[in-house]
Amino acid sequence: MNTSSDHQPSQNWDDLKDKIAASQNFPSVYMFKFILSSDNKKIAQIEALFDNTDNPEISIHPSSRGRYVSITIKQMVQNVEYIIHIYKQVAKIPGVIMI
């Protein structure tokens, strides 16, 4: 998945859900990865999505010039619906690329 739009047709979300469900057994650790400009507000918005979860492993790496960051979050998830929920919330943040 590589998008920064919250206007994803529901078919795209359904396709992503099917792909994830076919490749993961639940519960399992899932790795979310995002790329965005070095904007502390946007970084905080992404981190806040995981505030009420159990011990997410979050790593943030700046690009060589510091203009962008990659955020990797490893999180124990119970089902594919949770993953899609997170992706839909992140899609509402302008300029974030989901990988």
pLDDT, tens only, 74-85: 999 999 999 999
Closest among 7, 60, 2, 57 to 29, alpha carbons compared = 57
Residue 54's pLDDT is what? Answer: 84
Structural domains of the chain ordered from first start: 10-98 (3.30.70.260)
Task: Give tens-digit pLDDT for 15-43.
Answer: 999 999 999 999 999 999 999 999 999 99
Reading the block at residue 10, the tokens are: 């529901």
| pTM of this structure | 0.85
